[in-house]
Chains A and B, each alone.
Chain A
Amino acid sequence: MTILVFSEQDTTVNELLAKSKEIAGSIDGQVVVIGFPGSAHPENFFKHGADRVVMPSSPGLSAGAPLSVQYSEILQNACAEFKPEVIMIGSTRWGKEVAARLAGALGCGCALDCTSVSMDGQKAIVVERLVLGGNANSRELFTSFPAVITVPAKVIPCLPEASSPGGEVEHRQFEVSPARMSLVKTTKREVAGVKLDLANVVVSFGRGLKAKDDIRMISDLAAALHGEMGCSRPIAADLKWLPKEHWVGLSGIKVKPKVYVACGISGQIQHLAGMRDSGIIVAINKDKDAPIFKAADYGIIGDIYKVVPEMMNQLKTCH
């Protein structure tokens, strides 16, 4: 069995190598990294389990940001040469685009954003991924090869770095058609400095907050709890009261603080998927039937405009 590994992020390549090595090891296979031109030290992939490292070069490659259209073609050509059974790709937004195009071109099976990859006996690959808005875990068996699989960063632990360096990086030219599209402009986006995924306490709010000026009430509570402020989708995406770095949810940021406080958030499953792994979950909502209460350890049925100030009083009076 041959497994191809590809990601534009070196650390993700190392993680995918750990998994590929585990799978290939059980059946005497080989693991080949198809390098990304931006990779700083492709020779280090040997230390993480690569049997071969191939750096592709292609005169037809567009300058500037890499086009997924062209990289899926490079991988398609690499597949023609190495005939892999499995192609493991890092699940970034870009990587998923590359993977899906590749699967379309190869007409093969493909599973994106896998949270688990394993061998079923000696024969087939089984993957798991989240479906139904984060409500369920789906277990899928590949019944044919090749299988294109993407795995997000930090899902697989890296192998300890081996001390013995493994080999020579190979350079190979792969044909790439001229791209029928071009990147005309890139702009750096203003990014808020908040790192919600690292916070110990997150105090979030949703549509229960009536005016932008009232955000102060939430940020005060977050500060009193030594936490950061988060929000639900409508606040960041529709109203744009807070930058996206505050958006907790399936398509926002996934958080797991010790305490998560949801103020005026109804608890759509996409939101729950972003905070489900929190330690203690607190919900404040005036609608007693809001789904957030089912996901909460502690809840107060009441108006956040009355409850939050009372919480502030309580936090101030105690020592």
Chain B
Amino acid sequence: MIHVGAVAGKNTRSVTEPNMNTANKKTPYEHLKEKWLDRHKNLQEKLRAKHKESLEWVTKNLAPKQLAVGSLGSLLLLTSPGIPVLPSAHLLPATQEVSNTISKNAFVVTDLSHILPNEVRPLTSDEEEKVVQVLSRDFGFTLAAELEGKRLNRSYGFIGQEQHLARYPGDTIATHFDPPAGGDAQKYASEGMAPGLGAWGYFAQSKEQFTEKDKMRETYYIAVQTFLAPGFLDHVKEYGDFFKYRKMLVVNPNNGNAIVAVIGDAGPGESTGKHLGGSPEVMRHLERVDGSFKGPVLYFFIDDPHDTIPLGPVQLQ
């Protein structure tokens, strides 16, 4: 299903923008409106003609108060001859610039809302397939719940807040940000450093060997429950190598915010009620928080064999 919330477009123009088509040429809107109004009218007439008795019965026998709020539209569609009409122009600001006021993310949020279950649980393979289709199409990546025969225990779960990881021996909160004060330090230093190292140790063996790539990996890392992956315990080394710095797309299905991250740690424990963790930078971009207001994210492997996809926030295509 799609709904009125699904109105963000890739190419949009202002309501008041002059039509560039000539007077004799129909705009895309006029073309579709004419066709779809005709078809709508035909469908409505056909429905009334075929099922007149039962439609009249439900109209007479159901008091308006009995109707669930969400069903009013359904009943009105059944019982009224009305056809959805163009909203009055005066209901909208006269100079509204469509694409500036409505986020493109509305589309991905709407699409996902029709696939995801109400509760946060592991997705079925059918649901995973549909989500992968939507995200691959919208973000332009090749995504998969399973890659090289390996998958995580789930692809939809609650994300919790992780701390910064030591990137090389001697890395502390004082050396973690450049510059050490202001900027990112001001935003992210308060989360502190994790007391231990990530699952794969330091990102670089020394400060001298530390590269921009290492820096990005720690900045945009997630911790996933590698130890719960099917088959992990039988092939610990093989699975560990596979998961190490594996790129994943992480998406907040409630706002469409997405980020390319790497698996930089293993966790959280099963008892926490959370299913993965995000670095302070990942969490901020996704607009997710820990604790009682924790929320779910989707996370899928990115098939990027040549390592061409940069880490960090991504926009819809």
Answer whether A and B are interacting partners.
no
User: Which B positions have Cβ atoms within 8 angstroms of A?
Assistant: none
